[in-house]
Amino acid sequence: MNGWLLVDKPVGITSFQAINRFKKLLDVKTGHCGTLDPFASGFLLVALGKATKLVEYAMNFEKNYTFVVKWGVSTDSDDLTGNVVGNCQVIPTKQQIVDKLECFIGEIDQVPPIFSAVKVKGRKAYEYARKGEELILKSKKVYLKKFSLLSHENDLSTFNIVTNKGFYVRALARDFAKSLNTLAHVVELRRNQSGIFENMEMINAEVTKDFLHNNELYDYISSRILPLDYVLDDIPVYDLDLSDAKKLKNGQFVFHQLSLGNDSRVAIKSNNELVALCMYADGYLKPTKTF
């Protein structure tokens, strides 16, 4: 059981809860690429078995979100689960919103919400926030590739964004509202499929409830596991014989002439199975991860 599952996380449960059933059923190590808040729904890329070694790499994919903002009200968590901490009568017009979008596209500074998993002195920020302890988080550089308004009616606006890892949609809503001299918080958030996963079938938690027997669910899930190297679509792949593959798995360097520049990343397969990720330098394959 090594590979990837595309899961549609429902509202109301944590990302851990969303993948826990698969972990128990398949009896395999699991991980996920990018946590979704309990109030959020949508695309969750789940790593099974040896794929957990590639989670860090898979986190680099662009992320696409659709979210709804409620104007005029702020909460301590910057979403609908928090306590109201501010009210404002200013509701921006559609044109005011559109005119401001471009200011946030590109590299921006962003302070994470206090109710987040950002670590400060070994503790997560939300642990301080839940105890009412004062906390000042540092800003960080994040990148917003796309920011568009989908609809605007009364005090609700729907947006779509494309961004990278480490980005907080809740913080964007907070900062965007501030730039329009008002307040806001996120009331709906959904991560959409994007990139190499766009338009692929996801496993819906509601669908899995229809199976009466675990063996039927096991077969259903097994048939939807993507291969281990699926997330390595932008890395050159080379096949080696079993002897050289074994050396790489044991951590040894292997000399092999390839038409690649120094310090190129390479995926090595043998008998159609992923063996290792390597750095190629001076004619040698140097394993960085083995499977």
Three-class SS of residue 79? strand
To the query of whether residue 37 is one of the catalytic residues in this protein, the response is yes
For residue 99, give every residue at least 6 positions away whose Cβ sits within 8 Å of its Cβ, in sequence order, or none: none
Q: Do residues 1 and 225 make contact, with C-beta atoms less than 8 angstroms apart?
A: yes
Q: Do residues 112 and 167 make contact, with C-beta atoms less than 8 angstroms apart?
A: no
Three-class SS of residue 61? coil
Annotated active-site residue in 8, 37, 229, 244: 37
Q: Taking CA 248 as the corner, what is the angle to CA 244 and CA 251, rounded to the nearest 5 degrees?
A: 145
**Nearest-angstrom CA–CA distance, 109 and 178:** 14
Which two structure tokens, joined as six digits, stand for 130?
């839940």
User: Where in the sequence numbering do the catalytic residues fall?
Assistant: 37
